[in-house]
Structure 1
Amino acid sequence: MAKTELTQLPVSKIVVGMTIKLPLSWTEHPFFRSKVKIEQKSQIALIRGLNTSFVYLLDGHDLIPEQPEVVDEPVTILPATEMPDYKVEAKKSIRRGQQRFIRCVNDSRGVFGKVVSDPEGAYRDAVTLVESMMEHLNETDSPHLTLVSSNELEVSVTQHGVSVAVLSMMIAHMAGLPPSDIRDIAIGSLFHDIGKLKVPENIRRKHGELTDHEVNFMRMHPNFGYEMLVKNNLYPKAMLHIVRHHHEFVDGSGYPDKLTAKKIPITTQIVSLVNDYESLLRRYLSPQLALGVLFKSRKQKHDEKLVSQLVKVLGIYPPGTLVNLTDGSFAKVMMTTSEVKKPHVWACSPRGEDATLRFLMEEEVSVSEVVKLENLPESVLKTLQAENTISFYFSDFEH
């Protein structure tokens, strides 16, 4: 019996309601199977960023749009003599992002140290820090992310707070929220885990599985943080809501109050989503894998539109993702770009040699697959500094 020929469908024509099959191996996409039932627009956004221009349509032929496919306008390439040295500027931007991140972390640590002894001073310093981050967010018309790290072996509460603030502010900016909401999100993100400082360090830093008692103690940290801040009568209500409810989910499965979507303002929903993603990142040590796990098994806990915006902010290959390129090189993603499949990467040969910053937007080379940390040769691990902690900051590089 002859096989039925599958219908090829351009990714630009995928709509909700279709069932499609991806023409990719399991290592090239974040879904459980290559067969995907399209139930949300965020799935479409993710598929459009994969390394394929088409999918196989299994069901939903009646949903195929009749409009002609939009053809991209031709791109004019400037003569080489008119092009600035992008790589030099990009390296400076990466270094600047790193310096800004460390400065924010140090300032945040200073704020935490004043919360009890000098609450008004802590508030003033926090507002100053937020204004600095707002300037960095608005430095370019279309902000992107750059990879940053610290010299510490683990991500601290303040490092985590800054990274969550950056991603949350990017989502809020993309969603068109007013500056006042973005400021509330920023200060709420910076403070969201301050209550963990009241959790014993042996519980907070435990690497093994927590006991039921330890889990219950850890789950008290949102209330600890809220109680520390609310008594000062300094902080906005939206910020305090973030601190107390950043572990709430729209399906009512979160804590401490099991709130559902209607009772969780968008400012808190954004921080909850980013905090959930960062928690997965710490567990799986891969930004791309963490995004895939969030998309596959936790998307019901978050608003679909916000998940889609997180995907757009991070790109298909978020900063810190380890990849293999089509020319055989290994690379670590350093910056997101306007082309989600073409990030700027720090690349080296399979032997860990000839390390350089590469702009995939300007090359015929692309990402062939995501690589796990344990599968990298030792020489490549060292060259790419692949075991460094992963955090995010705004990129001021435009290209």
Structure 2
Amino acid sequence: MLKKIPIQQVQLGMYLQSMEGSWLSHPFWKTKFVLREAADLEALLTSGVPAVWIDISKGADVQTAPAPDSLVQALMDEPQPPPPPPASAPPPAPAPAAALARPERVSLGSEMGRAAQTINRSRQAVTALFGEARMGKAVDAEMCMPLVEEVADSVSRNPSALISLARLKTKDDYTYMHSVAVCALMVALARQMGLDETETREAGLAGLLHDVGKMMMPLEVLNKPGALTDPEFAVMRTHPERGYEALREGGKVSEPVLDVCLHHHEKMDGSGYPKKLKGDQISLLARMGAVCDVYDAITSNRPYKTAWDPAGSIQRMAQWQGHFDPVVFQNFVKSVGIFPVGTLVKLASGRLAVVVDQNPANLVAPMVRVFYSTRSKMPIPVQLLDLSQASSNDKIVSREAPQDWGFKQLDELWSKPAA
């Protein structure tokens, strides 16, 4: 049973179903959960959220909860996770060993070196893998799993490091590195959506192999520097089916992975391809693959198109009605950040900064590197600023387009240490 209560009545032990106000403004990395931590309660009470909806069949009611507290905004009507045990139930069983072994989160700077090594190894592995596929050899999915594991471990330590570095791919290696990037994005999204570790690895493998059908495309079409003609585009639209058949014939590929390969270009309104599936006809993993595939494509330099900035890409994707599953898309935004690493932002102080890391508990207050004054129109000493800390005395007021300011080397500010 759902009940709406003012923020002042929120208490630990309540099951937070949704929050009043914009889902982008609430302080939580997840949605629909039992409020157990005092720190989460404090974050909610100071978030400005006026009221919340609680489910008293899954958690404490106002009269029985032990202390005041707060919480959560529902993204939309997302699929309901399994209900948590009632307060009187015995403690849950220990987590599986695989989940316990997940690396702890570290800063982006700490992970950057390892992520770069993973990307270099991934580039070689995927180039070889796709090269064999182009020659008609079967793709051995089991051989891909060590690579998926390495990517998943990097994403566990810091999702932004590998995902952001993979975005810097060149036009020449786009086809190969796009698959690595989508693998990492799928892992991050799967974790955000609460999939278990086995399902998360399967999502990563699906991302890695989703575009294998492009290896069956004519090179003059695949690498064409300009826009495709209608006949050329018709050829390219066959890559999901070609990839599906190649993976199926090779064996050892699960049905969910095959499904993503075949259906990652389907759209929720039925206007996608190859089968024009609509809504729930599209599997969850394929809906996830659609979002991850498009985001990496439009934030990367390609043979015929210059990359869009990360936050601007998210803003545009949000406006494509009927394209993506709204719940999956909103979870995706939370997985990469409202202001992804590399985003140029303007602060209330009039300074410009580039986002260099996320604060998972507060997505609107990331770590930034300040470097320019809009008032003096001059560079200023580079400074690292954690906007989630009250001592920063600053906040983001807008996203800025790098081209409007003439910044051509913005990536160096977040991908390399400050001078």
CA pair 90-385 structure 1, distance change in 2 beyond 3 A: closer
Q: Distance in 2 between matches of 1:238 and 1:165?
A: 14
User: Which residue number in structure 1 is paired with residue 160 of structure 2?
Assistant: 145
Secondary structure at the aligned position of 1:368 is classed as strand
Match of 1:344 among 340, 362, 367: 367
Residue identity matched to 2:292: V
- Asked if 2 retains the 8 angstrom alpha-carbon contact of 1:320 and 1:332, the reply is yes
- Asked if 2 retains the 8 angstrom alpha-carbon contact of 1:203 and 1:210, the reply is yes
Q: Distance in 2 between matches of 1:42 and 1:115?
A: 50
User: Which residue number in structure 2 is paired with residue 126 of structure 1?
Assistant: 144
- Asked if 1 retains the 8 angstrom alpha-carbon contact of 2:341 and 2:414, the reply is no
CA pair 292-356 structure 1, distance change in 2 beyond 3 A: same
CA pair 260-168 structure 1, distance change in 2 beyond 3 A: same
With the length of structure 1 as denominator, give the TM-score of the two structures: 0.69
- Asked if 2 retains the 8 angstrom alpha-carbon contact of 1:144 and 1:337, the reply is no
Shift of 1:89: 6.0
User: Which residue number in structure 1 is paired with residue 343 of structure 2?
Assistant: 321
User: Which residue number in structure 1 is paired with residue 309 of structure 2?
Assistant: 286
How many residues are paired up? 323
- Asked if 1 retains the 8 angstrom alpha-carbon contact of 2:217 and 2:239, the reply is yes
- Asked if 2 retains the 8 angstrom alpha-carbon contact of 1:288 and 1:316, the reply is yes
User: Which residue number in structure 2 is paired with residue 259 of structure 1?
Assistant: 277
Residue identity matched to 2:409: K
Moved over 4 A (4+): 40-43, 63-67, 69-72, 116-122
Q: 5 Å matches for 1:127-276?
A: 127-139=145-157, 144-146=159-161, 147-149=164-166, 150=168, 152-153=170-171, 156-276=174-294
Q: Which runs of 5+ in 1 are unaligned?
A: 1-10, 14-39, 58-62, 73-87, 389-399
Q: Percent identity?
A: 23
Q: Distance in 1 between matches of 2:20 and 2:334?
A: 9
Q: Distance in 2 between matches of 1:278 and 1:293?
A: 13
CA pair 354-255 structure 1, distance change in 2 beyond 3 A: same
What RMSD over aligned residues (CA atoms) do the two structures have, in Å?
A: 3.7
- Asked if 2 retains the 8 angstrom alpha-carbon contact of 1:316 and 1:340, the reply is yes
Q: Which runs of 5+ in 2 are unaligned?
A: 1-5, 9-17, 28-46, 55-61, 63-67, 72-105
Q: Distance in 2 between matches of 1:248 and 1:343?
A: 33
User: Which residue number in structure 2 is paired with residue 46 of structure 1?
Assistant: 24
Q: Distance in 1 between matches of 2:314 and 2:20?
A: 12
Match of 1:367 among 384, 396, 406: 396
- Asked if 1 retains the 8 angstrom alpha-carbon contact of 2:7 and 2:52, the reply is no
CA pair 220-12 structure 1, distance change in 2 beyond 3 A: farther
With the length of structure 2 as denominator, give the TM-score of the two structures: 0.66
Q: Distance in 1 between matches of 2:350 and 2:408?
A: 15
Secondary structure at the aligned position of 1:381 is classed as coil
Deviations 1:221-248 (A, max 9, x none): 1112122222111211111111111101
- Asked if 1 retains the 8 angstrom alpha-carbon contact of 2:115 and 2:154, the reply is no
- Asked if 1 retains the 8 angstrom alpha-carbon contact of 2:142 and 2:252, the reply is no
Q: 5 Å matches for 1:54-69?
A: none
Residue identity matched to 1:367: I
Shift of 1:310: 1.0
